[in-house]
Amino acid sequence: MQEYCERKVAVVGAGAAGMMAAIYAAQNGASVTVFEKNSTVGKKLAITGKGRCNVTNDCDNTEFLKNVISNPKFLYASINNLNTSDVKAFFEGLGVELKTERGRRVFPVSDKAKDIVNALERYMLDLGCILKHEKVISLISNGSAVTGLETVKDDYFFDAVVLATGGVSYPMTGSDGDGLAFSKKLGINVTKLTPSLVPLETCENVSELMGLSLKNITLKLIDTKTQKTVFSELGEMLFTHFGMSGPLVLSASSHMHDLEVGKYTVKLDLKPALDFSELDKRILSDFSKQINKDFSNSLGALLPSKIIPYIIRKSGISPSTKVNEITKEQRRGLVALLKELPFEISSFRPIREAIITSGGVDTKEINPSTMKAKKYEGLYFAGEMIDVDAYTGGYNLQIAFSTGSLAGMHAAWGD
């Protein structure tokens, strides 16, 4: 009888995908060693969701895939292997109480991302995984299989290696693209890296609006050349010293390709609950109550005070004009401005400020049923370094957990 031989699996990167890969590999009988160059695990995970950690989204698989922007079909097998309900059950089973907020976003009840990090690390170590805080500098291969890795301290040999090193956003957390460089060195295609879920810079100077948060507005992203609406959604956004940020803006950014000045325009509907005619009546009603006031003092009941001077300048109406002197044409121009306040986008903020990286290891290079490299035995991928990304709302962490679980399981099985 052939004696059972425990497979040795290395996981490079102890983030969300890496720790989940290590856990699933260990659960499936592998001897697992995790390599993390930082002095602590989950450094990027600990700052997600502004330190609260939006663990997943409480939706079904169909809805989940609708929110994946790049290569959603690639994720069929992984989301079926570990879906959003499974992730919730996983963390609750580890003693982390969860809650669901607006937009089906799931957070720990404590509002502490560290509770998610600690739960993953504790369970990973309880399963017998060995954690080495060593920087991996290259993979070892024989041309057809990855057989190990080289760190700053030594060479190590394994039956399988799972790369889960992240993209290139937030490089201070360790996501500096080293795993992508390892992949390129092996001849594996890496698609163009661009920022996704990233704040936007505007051609207009909006520094006076810095800090203004607008809620319950509609943001439309327009392709200036075709005048087609690329993205439209109701929600909230924030003005910054350089332009704009916030959930609506981050989601819109993921639809922008080959960005150059003049290619995209953002239009804000500040009063989406009112159509053009209804808003016109509302303004007319407001004006009728203050007919002797200057225009500059007439919009306080309609708009946040911080944006009023900006709107007045854009309207072309003199701020000293008496309300009863404003013409029908001027009033309708004001309505049009409030329904489609335009901002020309000049650029993304730097990729280091992006929540995630769009692009990465080409999905054509990976078997989606196993996360195994097609060109090499013993090499698996997980998480953000793969060319898949999604909207904000917990979807990207779900991708990390789902692909990590599948990669770890099949690395342990050797298929």
Q: What are phi and psi of 292, to 5 degrees?
A: -100, 0
Give residue 353's pLDDT.
Answer: 82
- pTM of the prediction? 0.83
- The alpha-helical segments, DSSP class H, found in 244-275 are 247-253
Distance CA 55, CA 116 (A): 8
Distance CA 284, CA 366 (A): 61
Give residue 141's pLDDT.
Answer: 97
Place of tokens 């200057």: 294
Distance CA 360, CA 190 (A): 5
Tens-place pLDDT, residues 161-211: 999 999 887 777 777 899 999 999 999 999 998 888 889 999 999 999 999
Sequence-distant (≥ 6) Cβ neighbours of residue 404 within 8 angstroms: 16, 17, 18, 19, 20, 21, 24, 162, 164, 382, 383
Query: Which of the four pLDDT bands, split at 50, 70 and 90, describes residue 1?
Result: very low
Asked if the model's pLDDT at residue 376 lies above 90, the reply is yes
> Can you count the helices (H) and strands (E) in the chain?
11, 23
Beta strand extents in 240-385 (DSSP E only): 243-245, 264-269, 341-348, 356-358, 366-367, 372-373, 379-381
Burial of 236-262, coded b for 16+ CB within 10 Å and e otherwise, reads ebbbbebbbbbbbbbbbbbebeebeee
Tens-place pLDDT, residues 198-244: 899 999 999 999 999 999 999 999 999 899 999 999 999 999 999 99
Tens-place pLDDT, residues 23-50: 999 999 999 999 999 999 999 999 888 8
Tens-place pLDDT, residues 254-311: 888 777 777 999 999 999 999 999 999 999 999 999 888 999 999 999 999 999 999 9
Q: Which residues pair with 342 in a beta bridge?
A: 267
Could you state, in order of their start, the residue ranges of all structural domains in the chain?
8-194+358-413, 199-348
The single-letter DSSP state of residue 365 is G
Amino acid letter, residue 200: L
Asked if the model's pLDDT at residue 61 lies above 90, the reply is yes
In the CATH scheme, what is the homologous superfamily, with its name and number, of domain 199-348? rRNA adenine dimethylase, C-terminal domain (1.10.8.100)
Asked if the model's pLDDT at residue 354 lies above 50, the reply is yes
The rounded mean pLDDT for the chain is: 94
Asked if the model's pLDDT at residue 343 lies above 90, the reply is yes
Q: Which CATH number applies to 8-194+358-413?
A: 3.50.50.60
Query: Which of the four pLDDT bands, split at 50, 70 and 90, describes residue 5?
Result: low
Query: Once rounded to an integer, what is the mean pLDDT over residues 385-391?
Result: 93
Tens-place pLDDT, residues 137-158: 999 999 999 999 999 999 999 9
Give residue 2's pLDDT.
Answer: 39
